[in-house]
Chain A
Amino acid sequence: MAEALKIFTQQEAQKLIDMEEVIRTAVARAQNSGIVFLDEIDKIAGASSKHGPDVSREGVQRDLLPVVEGTSVVTKYGMVKTDHILFVASGAFHVSKPSDLIPELQGRFPIRVELNSLSEQEFIQILTEPKNALIVQYKAMLETEGVELKFTDDAIAEIARTAAMVNARSENIGARRLHTIMSNLLEEILFEVPESDVKSLTVDKKKVQETLASVIEDEDLSRYIL
C-alpha cells in the first residue's frame, strides 16, 4: 500500500509538472549558468601527432572553438546558445604549455590560474579539515559497525609524510595518494571489524609505520600498491 501510494504520488507529480515550462527553465539555466569543465585540455594542445590513427589535436581545438565562442547547438529540447556558458579548462601542462593552444582558443580563456602541488602540511589538513575528509568518512563508516575509530595526531602526520614521500618518489598523484594509503592502512581493520567485539580502535604512529613499512621499503612494490 505504501508502495502503491508512492507510485501514485509520482504519477500525480508527473501530471502536475508542466514539462514545457521545465524545458524552458532548463534551457535558460543551461545557457546562463551552465558550467562545462574541460579536463586534460593540455592533451589537445601541442603539435598534432604525425603518426597513427590519432585525430589531429588542432582539429579538436578548432571544433571546440565555436562552442566556447558561442554558437547554437541543436538539442532535442531546442536550440541552446553557448555564449554565456562558463568553461573551466584544466590540465597539468607537463609537456605542452597553454601557449601551445591555438591562439583563438587561448583568447577565449583569458584567466589562467596555477595550482600548486600539495605539501605535507596540506595533506594533514586534507585528512582532517574538510567536511568530507577521509578520516571523517572512515570514522562514520566504522561507526555503523559500532566501533569508534581514532587517529592520534602523530599518526595523521605520519600518513601525510608517507603520502608526500611516495608522491615524490613515484608518480605525483596529489591528494589521491591519501586514498590509497588510507585504504592500505585500514585494510585489516575493515576486514576484521565485523567479527570482533572491539568497541574502540586507535591508530597511532607506530601502527601506521608498521602497516606501511613493508610496502614502502620495497620501492618497486609501492609503485603498484600505494
Chain B
Amino acid sequence: MKIDQLTPRQIVNALDKYIIGQDKAKKMVAIALRNRWRRQQVKEDLREEIIPNNIILIGPTGVGKTEISRRLAKLSNAPFVKVEASKFTEVGYVGRDVESIIRDLLEISVQMVREEKTIAVEGKAHDHAIERMLDTLLPPITAKPKPVGEMGEEDKLELSHQRTREKLRAQLLEGKLDDRPVEIDVPADSTPMMQIFSPMGIEEMGLNIQEMFGGMMPKK
C-alpha cells in the first residue's frame, strides 16, 4: 500500500484498524499526510514555499496520541522519531542537542532505505553468494576456463571440474548441503569493544571517531 494512492479518507480508514475513536485527530493527520504528497506534485518554485502544517495533539495520556503518529509514519513509510521534549530540560543539556533529533531521524531514514535496497538486490546477492560458495568449495583450476564446447582433449580435467561444479551447484540450490559444515572467514562485525566518551553536544564527533577507528582495525 503506497501512500501516494491513499486519500485522506483511506488514511483514516487505515488508522481505524488500529486506533479507536479520536476521529478529529485522525482526520487532521490524514490531511497533513496528503498535503505532503500534494506538495511534491506542485511546481518546483512554489514547492519550496509550502511549509507543513505542524500539529499539536492535546489530550491526556493513553488516549492514542503517540499511537496515531506512529501508525501514520508506518503507513506512509516515512522515517519517524519520537522525542520527549522534557528531556531537553534535564541537567547537562546543551543547546545543540535539539539538533540530534534530526540526526536520529536521518539515521532511521538511512536504515530504512538500506533495508529496502537489500531486499531489492536479494536475488542477485544470492546468486553471487552461490558462486562464491562454489569457488570456496572447489577452487577453479584455471583463471579463465574456456566455454565447454571449445574444450579439447587436453582440457578434460577442466571439463570434469566444471561438471562437479554444476553438480555441487544443484545440490546447493536444493539445500542438500545446508547442514554440512564449511569454514569461511568472516570479518568481525563490529568495532572491537571500544566506547568513545564524548562530551554532550559533540556526539557527532564521537560517532565519526568511532567510525574512523573501525576502519583502522583490520578486518579479520
Query: Taking the nearest CB of chain B, how far is it from the CB of A172, in angstroms?
Result: 6
Contact check, B63 vs A175: say whether CB atoms are below 8 A apart. yes
Q: For residue A4, which residues in chain B have a CB less than 8 angstroms away from its CB?
A: 133, 182, 184
Given A1-B178, A63-B98, A90-B65; A115-B106 close (CB under 8 Å): no
Q: State A181–B26 Cα separation when bound (angstroms).
A: 27
Contact check, B186 vs A7: say whether CB atoms are below 8 A apart. yes
Query: Taking the nearest CB of chain B, how far is it from the CB of A55, in angstroms?
Result: 5
Contact check, A113 vs B24: say whether CB atoms are below 8 A apart. yes
Q: List 23 A-B contacts (CB under 8 A).
A: A2-B179, A8-B133, A9-B128, A16-B128, A17-B117, A29-B112, A34-B81, A35-B76, A35-B79, A44-B86, A60-B85, A60-B88, A63-B95, A67-B102, A84-B51, A86-B32, A87-B54, A94-B60, A109-B56, A113-B56, A173-B61, A174-B60, A177-B62
Contact check, A91 vs B102: say whether CB atoms are below 8 A apart. no
Contact check, A73 vs B133: say whether CB atoms are below 8 A apart. no
- B174 sits at the interface (CB 8 A): no
Looking at the complex, which one of B29, B40, B61, B208 makes contact with A174 (CB distance below 8 Å)? Answer: B61
Contact check, B79 vs A34: say whether CB atoms are below 8 A apart. yes
Q: For residue B73, which residues in chain A have a CB less than 8 angstroms away from its CB?
A: 35
Q: For residue B113, which residues in chain A have a CB less than 8 angstroms away from its CB?
A: 22-23, 25-26, 29
- A198 sits at the interface (CB 8 A): no
- B214 sits at the interface (CB 8 A): no
A-B pair count, CB < 8 Å, reads 306
Q: State A94–B32 Cα separation when bound (angstroms).
A: 26
Q: State A39–B101 Cα separation when bound (angstroms).
A: 12
Query: Taking the nearest CB of chain A, how far is it from the CB of B87, in angstroms?
Result: 9
Residues of A at the B interface (CB closer than 8 Å) are: 1-2, 4-5, 7-13, 15-17, 21-23, 25-27, 29-30, 32-41, 43-44, 53-55, 57, 59-60, 63-64, 67-68, 70, 73-77, 80, 82-94, 98, 108-118, 122, 125-126, 129-132, 172-177
Looking at the complex, which one of B22, B60, B114, B208 makes contact with A92 (CB distance below 8 Å)? Answer: B60
Contact check, A91 vs B105: say whether CB atoms are below 8 A apart. no
- B118 sits at the interface (CB 8 A): yes
Contact check, B56 vs A37: say whether CB atoms are below 8 A apart. no
Given A1-B180, A115-B63; A109-B55 close (CB under 8 Å): yes
Q: State A109–B99 Cα separation when bound (angstroms).
A: 19
Which A residue's beta carbon lies closest to that of B177? A1
Given A33-B79, A53-B91; A22-B110 close (CB under 8 Å): yes
Which B residue's beta carbon lies closest to that of A115? B59
Looking at the complex, which one of B20, B56, B121, B128 makes contact with A90 (CB distance below 8 Å)? Answer: B56
Residues of chain B from 62 to 93 with CB closer than 8 A to chain A in the complex = 62-66, 69-70, 72-73, 76-86, 88-91, 93
Contact check, B19 vs A130: say whether CB atoms are below 8 A apart. yes
**Chain B 22-33 per-residue mask, 1 if CB under 8 angstroms from chain A, else 0:** 101100110011
Q: For residue B114, which residues in chain A have a CB less than 8 angstroms away from its CB?
A: 17, 22, 26
Identify which of A54, A63, A173 gathers the most chain B CB atoms within 10 Å of its CB: A63
- B162 sits at the interface (CB 8 A): no
Looking at the complex, which one of A91, A116, A130, A172 makes contact with B22 (CB distance below 8 Å)? Answer: A116
Q: For residue B132, which residues in chain A have a CB less than 8 angstroms away from its CB?
A: 8, 12
Q: State A70–B102 Cα separation when bound (angstroms).
A: 11
- B207 sits at the interface (CB 8 A): yes
Contact check, B117 vs A9: say whether CB atoms are below 8 A apart. no
Contact check, A23 vs B59: say whether CB atoms are below 8 A apart. no
Looking at the complex, which one of A8, A30, A64, A117 makes contact with B60 (CB distance below 8 Å)? Answer: A117
Identify which of A9, A64, A68, A77 gathers the most chain B CB atoms within 10 Å of its CB: A9
Q: For residue B138, which residues in chain A have a CB less than 8 angstroms away from its CB?
A: none
Q: For residue B56, which residues in chain A have a CB less than 8 angstroms away from its CB?
A: 41, 88-91, 98, 109, 111-113
Q: State A64–B39 Cα separation when bound (angstroms).
A: 24
Q: For residue A122, which residues in chain B have a CB less than 8 angstroms away from its CB?
A: 20-21
Q: For residue B130, which residues in chain A have a CB less than 8 angstroms away from its CB?
A: 5
Query: Taking the nearest CB of chain A, how far is it from the CB of B138, in angstroms?
Result: 14
Q: For residue A15, which residues in chain B have a CB less than 8 angstroms away from its CB?
A: 128
Contact check, A175 vs B125: say whether CB atoms are below 8 A apart. no
- B52 sits at the interface (CB 8 A): yes
